[in-house]
Amino acid sequence: MKSLAMLAFAATVAVGGIAPGHALAQAFPAKPLRLVVPYATGGATDIIARAAAAEMTRSLGQRVVVENRPGGGANLGA
């Protein structure tokens, strides 16, 4: 009985080691990144987010878009 359990464990480990080899990597990122700000445009949070997005664009080499989603006590953006 114990040898059957060991055989099942060994088979599971062997199959688990093979499966990740079939995964294909996707290009990062395929689209512009969105930085969601849960407050209205023009406030202090928006200004800080736009400065952060500009820095992220420079460092990542990918466009970062600030998207404001005010309303619902900031629940929409969260």
Residue 13: what pLDDT?
Answer: 67
Q: Summarize the confidence of residues 71-75 as an average pLDDT.
A: 85
Residue 21: what pLDDT?
Answer: 58
Question: Can you read off the two tokens belonging to residue 19?
Answer: 């499966």
List residues bridging with 34 in a β-sheet. 65
Question: Can you read off the two tokens belonging to residue 60?
Answer: 């990542």
Query: pLDDT tens digits for 24-56?
Result: 777 777 789 999 999 999 999 999 999 999 999
Q: Per residue in 9-41, is it b (16+ CB within 10 Å) or e — as a string? A: eeeeeeeeeeeeeeeeeeeeeeeeeeeebbbee
